[in-house]
Chain A
Amino acid sequence: MAHAVPAATAEPELYGLVAEFETPEALLEAANAAREEGYTKMDAYTPFPVTGLDEALGMSNTRLGWVVLIMGLLGGASAFFMQWFAQVVHYPLNIGGRPLNAWPNYIVITFEVTVLLSAFTAGLFMLARNGLPRPYHPIFNTPNFEAATRDRFFLCIEASDPEFDLGLTARFLEKLGPVRVSEVEA
């Protein structure tokens, strides 16, 4: 059921071949098969996170946690430094007879800024590493791709994969039992 090649005279650039599946299990099987076949540049598109899909696709683990840890420590250190600098160095004031470096009083703000910076790093760094916001992506050209956020599961083998061959890859994907296999333009 391969999607008809567009009737343009100039050869359209190909983004990849996309197979559409009805269940997450079928997608997982297909992703495993594709990895064993030697494909490396591929991605899957699902309406919800499918456990085990990242291993099936041979993805490495995310390092987001480390970035968050570093930013959190930085946030906490700078918050404590700011308070100490303001109250001990820059404009020391005797307020309530408390010591200038009243460090227990600085803990709340130190804590809050630690959370603020690490949370914003976790959220925004995740979006940035995912390349978002990005309204247009070639994968959106896939027929029926609206269902990728509803109840369908897609596997894309990208044309940039060294193993990619339009005929062979299409035949390989057809064997995995998809609803359809489509050629997707870049």
Chain B
Amino acid sequence: MAVRRGIQETNRVIAPGQTYAGVDDRVNRPILQNLTRSPIWWFLGFGVGFFFLMVYLYSVTTLIIRGVGIFGNNVPVAWAMPIVNFVWWIGIGHAGTLISAILLLFRQDWRTSINRFAEAMTLFAVVCAGMYPILHLGRPWLFYWLFPYPNTYGMWPQFRSPLDWDVFAISTYASVSALFWFIGLVPDLATLRDRAQNRFVKLFYGTLALGWRGSAKHWQRYQRAYLLLAALSTPLVLSVHSTIALDFAYSQVPGWNNTIMPPYFVAGAVFAGFAMVLILAIPLRYAFGLQNLITKKHLDNCAKVMLATGMIVVYGYIIELFIAWYSGVEFERYMAYNRLFGDFAWAFWALILCNAVAIQPLWSRRVRQSQVALFIISLIVSVGMWLERYVIVIVTLMRDFLPSSWGNYYPTVFDWSLFIGSMGLFLTLWFVFIRLLPTVATSEIKELVHHDMHHSGHDDDHDAPTHRAQPEVS
């Protein structure tokens, strides 16, 4: 394979011949460089993100001043773009937790190179998602009424509503993901502290590293805590998107009241999330020269997970249509007819094209190994999963029980500016993250390097006795 600046394109989890110090330099040196000497692409990316963040804040300000009517929502379609975008963003987050937690439980050593930035992606996606449940309220300043706290009215939140479950699910998801991410960062922050030359930079990372010194006693508890957090995050990630699915499945609306919703939403979330992981990973490995650590093996595996979950989603589409017919309920049948041939049939067929057809090339190894193809397919999947939520939320609401209450829905400029602005929020956070914190978990990579040194010449697919998940004492 082509060698560029000592970088090898490889199909192993990490390229052979890595050293502890080499990993350290590769990941940490760009971070510790003087901020003014950041690469030009960083300033450009941050600048674009920051511009759209301003668009976001402008939209939020307008929303709060003028009210929720600036959106295109109407009476049959009271849930529209804000909910579509909410479900889309939070779905993206799920791949990060899948990589950091579920793959840890399955001892998949290819997670090591990508877990850090995937978790960061989760956090930033949850930040973008978490704003919508507040912003789509008519009176967002009273959102704290959704939390249980002793108050002088004797009032409680309504614990029988999935919208209140959402509050618990999202706030738990956000805070547990942040904790998991921070705990994973502590040893790497200590590395940055020890590498930093500048006094203030040292103080900054030293404060965040909490005085981590890599003691064997620390590592023992750390590994156990990390494993426990992974074991807790796994059901958490399944429950969060299931809870969001229940916002729909709990209702009586034909097209929403489907029992398949929770697992189908979770699969869709992982599908969309892995697409975003690929969209971020492919430029990232070039930007930081991480091809030795984020190898083609990772892209290939991500593509496989994307294909597997994508096929579950396709199965969901088939089952939705089959059950609509099989139910014998005319409202259910009409829902299916409306999706397939109604005024907004283009959305359904575009979604089938993006999510069911466009992923089929991923069966081929050649496509999975081609970064251009993967990047394009991932973009298509991201659009497709957005359309899926659009069809489920909006197209369903347009035509339900009473024909006198049928309507159409057209988003306004503020629907779009808030959505595009939320991408600015994501990008801003993302560019700050890749500049300030290690995008790859160096201490975990060093474990892989250690393992590699003992098995040089072996294939990398066999069970690796490394990892955080290793129980300490048999």
Contact = CB atoms under 8 A, between A and B. Distances in A.
Interface of A: 24, 43-51, 53-55, 57, 59, 61-62, 64-65, 68, 72, 82-83, 86-87, 90-91, 95-96, 98, 102, 105-106, 108-109, 111-113, 115-116, 118-120, 122-127, 129-130, 132-137, 139-140, 145-151
A132 B214 CA distance: 12
A126 B406 CA distance: 56
24 contacts: A45-B213, A45-B214, A48-B187, A62-B220, A62-B224, A86-B159, A87-B156, A87-B160, A95-B158, A108-B246, A111-B235, A112-B165, A112-B172, A112-B243, A115-B176, A115-B232, A122-B228, A125-B225, A129-B221, A130-B217, A147-B194, A148-B213, A149-B214, A150-B24
Interface residues of B, number: 69
Interface string B440-460: 000110110010000000000
B443 A48 contact: yes
Contact of B239 (A108, A125, A151): A108
A105 B225 contact: no
A130 B221 contact: yes
B100 interface: no
Contact of A45 (B20, B155, B160, B216): B216
Contacts of B224: 62, 64-65, 126
A133 B466 CA distance: 27
Given A126-B222, A151-B24, 9 more contacts: A46-B214, A49-B468, A64-B225, A82-B148, A87-B156, A115-B176, A122-B232, A147-B194, A149-B194
A118 B228 contact: yes
A120 B220 contact: no
Interface stretch (B45-53, B74-82, B204-212): B204-212
B172 A115 contact: yes
Contacts of A151: 19-21, 24, 446
Nearest to B453: A23
B213 A106 contact: no
A47 B214 contact: yes
Nearest to A125: B225
Interface of B: 19-21, 24, 148, 154-160, 162, 164-165, 168-169, 172, 175-176, 179-180, 182-183, 186-187, 190-191, 193-195, 206-207, 210-225, 228-229, 232-233, 235-236, 239, 243, 246, 443-444, 446-447, 450, 465-466, 468, 470, 472-473
